[in-house]
Amino acid sequence: MILEYLNVEQTLDYLQRETDYQYTFDDLKELNYLKSIDVFFFKVCTIYSTRTGGIAHSVQKVKGIFFIKDILFDNESDGQIFWFRKSYAHVENIIEHLGYFDDIWQPYQKGHAGLVSTSDLIDLEYNKDSEISRYSLDKNTINNIERSDLRFKKSQLDKLIKQSKVSIDELREQVTALTAENDRLNEQLSNQADAPADDDKELRTRSQNLAAKIILALLDIAGLDKNSPPYQYDDLSSNNCLIHDQIKANGMKVGQQKIGHWLDLALKQVTDE
């Protein structure tokens, strides 16, 4: 049976198997922060909506997959339990309807939103008009999710894996082309070592523009925001910081001022037409 939603361990195993890279839970958090993947959670719960006067309606017990935005970040967490302030969840997928209260009811479907509670239907309290009091549900509102209940959508993981493979292949082609062009330019420089100073300056300018165009193409391939200021050092999500951190992770050193220079030059490129 092919699972549509994977838990944390299944997700990490699947990504490693498909990419040959050992992902960690922190990597999943980073991908979620970058909006590359969403984080869902599995729960058997009672979902309901509210009206004025403390009345609950559309009360249904379900087994399903739900979504709360920023569930990994808008909370306090010890890495195993994620506490959050928002209890309004969006339905991603209802696996099974286990019971309902209303005589006339419409089942919750993907995209519907409601409050989620651990209260069972037999625990509901009613007011004098035989309406369900929301407070009997509110007192057991779900405000935390265990790591074991987190889920990741396989179709989103597949898209991420495909993009990663395409980007790597294209990057390799770009590096190969850049290496060949660099060798050609080095040969030209060697052959023109005695050329006038103005000719040397022109050749260096052409080389810089060529490298800048390739950098611009790599920004597009990586899906980086070209509106990110080239010399922005204080924002960890800026292009400058992302490139600096990756270079550092590769065991190399390039100053952020120099990175900003090349990003600025790349962004100033125009078409050759």
- Tens of pLDDT along 41-74? 999 999 998 877 788 888 999 999 999 887 777 5
Return the pLDDT at 194: 42
Separation CA 125–CA 192 (nearest Å): 90
0.85 exceeded by pTM: no
Q: How confident is the model at residue 193 (pLDDT cuts 50, 70, 90)?
A: very low
Asked whether residue 131 is assigned to any structural domain, the reply reads: yes
pLDDT at residue 10 tops 90: yes
Q: Which of 133, 152, 171 lies at the terminal end of a domain, its last residue?
A: 152
CA 111 and chain centroid, separation:
19
Return the pLDDT at 1: 37
How distant, in Å, are the alpha carbons of 56, 118, 125, 133 from that of 52?
A: 9, 22, 16, 11
- For the segment 168-187, what is each residue's pLDDT rounded down to a tens digit? 556 566 667 777 777 787 77
pLDDT at residue 210 tops 90: no
Contact of 25 with 33, CB cutoff 8 Å:
no
Asked whether residue 75 is assigned to any structural domain, the reply reads: yes
**Angle at CA 70, nearest 5°, toward 145 and 121?**
40
Q: What is the DSSP string of 211-254?
A: HHHHHHHHHHHHT--TTS-TT--S-TTSHHHHHHHHHHHTT---
What is the average per-residue pLDDT within 24-42?
90
Return the pLDDT at 83: 80
The torsion angles phi and psi of 123, rounded to 5 degrees, stand at -95, 0
Asked whether residue 273 is assigned to any structural domain, the reply reads: no
Identify whether residues 82 and 179 lie together within a single domain.
Answer: no
Asked whether residue 104 is assigned to any structural domain, the reply reads: yes
pLDDT at residue 40 tops 90: yes
Return the pLDDT at 152: 96
Could you list the residue range(s) of the whole structural domain that residue 171 is in?
Answer: 156-267
Who has greater pLDDT, 233 or 244?
Answer: 244
Q: Which of 152, 182, 204 lies at the terminal end of a domain, its last residue?
A: 152
pLDDT at residue 129 tops 90: no
Separation CA 265–CA 273 (nearest Å): 18
Asked whether residue 145 is assigned to any structural domain, the reply reads: yes
Domain total in the chain: 2
Q: How confident is the model at residue 13 (pLDDT cuts 50, 70, 90)?
A: very high
- For the segment 243-262, what is each residue's pLDDT rounded down to a tens digit? 988 888 999 888 888 898 88
Asked whether residue 116 is assigned to any structural domain, the reply reads: yes
Secondary structure class of 192 (helix, strand, coil): coil
What is the average per-residue pLDDT within 99-115?
80
pLDDT at residue 200 tops 50: no
Q: Which of 100, 130, 152 lies at the terminal end of a domain, its last residue?
A: 152
What is the average per-residue pLDDT within 125-139?
83
Asked whether residue 11 is assigned to any structural domain, the reply reads: yes
Return the pLDDT at 135: 86
Q: Nearest-CA neighbor of 58 among 7, 103, 119, 13?
A: 103
Asked whether residue 272 is assigned to any structural domain, the reply reads: no
Identify whether residues 23 and 96 lie together within a single domain.
Answer: yes
pLDDT over 90 percentage in the chain: 23
